[in-house]
Structure 1
């Protein structure tokens, strides 16, 4: 029969190995859990008032939580609402040039939603360069929708575009902070 000390050594080694595996599988950077004051993030934004209002509900949260909030909740909300508005405008606008403009915007917003999903996956996998790229693409697609309307757009789309552009810029700023490991 094996002595108790000969059994304890392998069990101790197993526990040590399991502990190391668990420890090494956790993110090495604590920056994602770091709380960055909202005013520090928003000081880097071109529209600090919008930034502060958007992040205020999650003030005091870790940077990762703030990033998820802006990526998943705010940006998706803006994009889905704008796509809904665009489809209503397409169905109800009698001006054929504006209808074409809204159709072009709806196509751009399909790309926006796709890039937001990519950006969210990049955040989840801590790929902050891809997160920045995705958010910058969102800004590009939104600007495409804003460019060259045939006449002054009386709808809520220009404001929605600006809100989404500002939200995507928050994502870019936070990706930069998260990548500073």
Structure 2
């Protein structure tokens, strides 16, 4: 676990302007998530991502992400900023909550780590994915449109994770099951 002052320096280094808002959000999330399961943490973080997108992106920018209009996404600094704030706020939260960031215990935990910009979390996510059914990841993403949106916003190509996120996002929004 990392002390809040260490996350302060981390956020200031990575976010420059706006780091103090991210620090405040991270502190609120840490207090909220401390005693929750990974499934419950996923839902709370998902809501944070959703509200952050509503605050930082206008309708055209959000639609560019949803519709996978890659040129528009690349041209919009607000989309990159949204991803940056979402990822680094999450990293600050995880730095304070995790006792062993190298080990993923569930698909919910894996989805959270998939969004983190930290190599230790991404490596743990990839290790989990090698040993587990990717369909389980798809099922969890169905209930996490905020995470799916961040994953779509940060990917300018059609990676496995971006495609899973896109499918889960649309399935959730349209209220149908595609049978991952």
Query: TM-score, normalised to structure 2's length?
Result: 0.30
Superposition TM-score, scaled by structure 1 size:
0.30
Q: Which has the larger radius of gyration?
A: 1
